[in-house]
Amino acid sequence: MTSPSILYEADLHCHTTESDGLLTPRELIRLAADLGLKGIGITDHDTIQGWREAEEAGAYYKIQVLRGIELNTDWQGKEVHILGYEVDNTSCYLNDKLRSLRDAREQRMIEILKRLATQGISICADEVRKLTKGESIGRPHIAQVLIERGFVKNIKEAFERYIGLGAPAYVPRYKLTTEEGIELVRQAHGIPVLAHPGMQRLDEGIPAWVEVGLQGIEVLHSEHKSDDVSRYRAIARQYKLLVTGGSDFHGEARKPGVELGRWGVPIRVLEQIQALAKLN
């Protein structure tokens, strides 16, 4: 029986413990099954390591799994997130690039800890690594240590006071350009989708990104208002792009109020992406 809070059949933007989510891939799939979802997109940051566990759980719970990844890229000083669906996990080029991105995350973590030390907060890198169950270290893991050590009360405070943009321990992260991110997904025979464009009003970049291979826009998202949905649906129609959607689920303690399945798409969109990937 479908939960009354679920509005869609498939949530195509979800994170697990392989990056900065709170549920393992299996736990996420089980939750999706409990809620009555038919499909889930696994889109961890810079890693595809959660796929196998998710697919095994998907077979058990009868949930269709869309294999994905989320790449943080840079365009004119703005952070642009590209979702890559159904990329070829055997691609040496893809795996080498992802390894470089994860190494850059590790170096960024070390630099953030150095800056926190200048604020009188001494944290060992191993404390952060212990909270990282997957391959990809992120600022939420540092925030969790700050919470556990009593320096802040929640993740929002950790970012505002210490590690967010403009805060004393903020360190910019190495990013691909948006064009490089799109091309990386296409070279790995995947489907590149622009994630939550309404968060930073990325409209003017879309024509150029379509030229280099963008194939979809995430229209439905937890940070999009109704006018964002209308605008990006129209842009998707104009450029003949896939309309995708997802919650950007991480877990309640990490992203309060962002519930699995409250944002998403019909299951046919998941199947459409899988079919299109076979042609890339």
pLDDT at residue number 216: 98
pLDDT at residue number 125: 93
Residue 243 CA, distance from chain mean position: 17
Query: Nearest-CA neighbor of 198 among 158, 237, 230?
Result: 230
**Gap between the Cα atoms of 117 and 123, Å rounded:** 7
Report, in angstroms and rounded to the nearest whole number, the Rg of the chain calculated over CA atoms. 18
pLDDT at residue number 2: 44
pLDDT at residue number 236: 98
Burial class (CB in 10 A: 0-12, 13-18, 19+), 274: middle
**Gap between the Cα atoms of 154 and 170, Å rounded:** 17
pLDDT at residue number 27: 98
Q: What is the tens place of the pLDDT at every residue in 200-211?
A: 888 999 999 999
pLDDT at residue number 8: 93
pLDDT at residue number 96: 94
Q: What is the mean pLDDT of each run of 10 residues along the chain (280 residues)?
A: 67 95 97 97 95 98 98 92 97 93 90 95 92 80 93 94 94 91 97 96 95 98 96 98 98 92 97 95
**Gap between the Cα atoms of 14 and 42, Å rounded:** 5
Cβ-count burial 166-176 (b if 16+ within 10 Å, e if not): eeebeeebebb
Alpha-helical runs (H) found in 7-91: 25-35, 51-61
Query: Nearest-CA neighbor of 123 among 109, 111, 113?
Result: 113
pLDDT at residue number 33: 96
116, 123 in Cβ contact below 8 A? yes
Query: Nearest-CA neighbor of 46 among 86, 109, 111, 99?
Result: 99
134, 141 in Cβ contact below 8 A? no
Strand partners, 21: none
Contacts of 215 (CB under 8 A, 6+ apart): 191, 192, 193, 241, 242, 276
pLDDT at residue number 1: 38
Question: What domains can you pick out in the chain, each with its CATH number?
Answer: 10-97+174-277 (3.20.20.140), 103-163 (1.10.150.650)
Angle at 246 between CA 245 and CA 247, to 5 degrees: 145
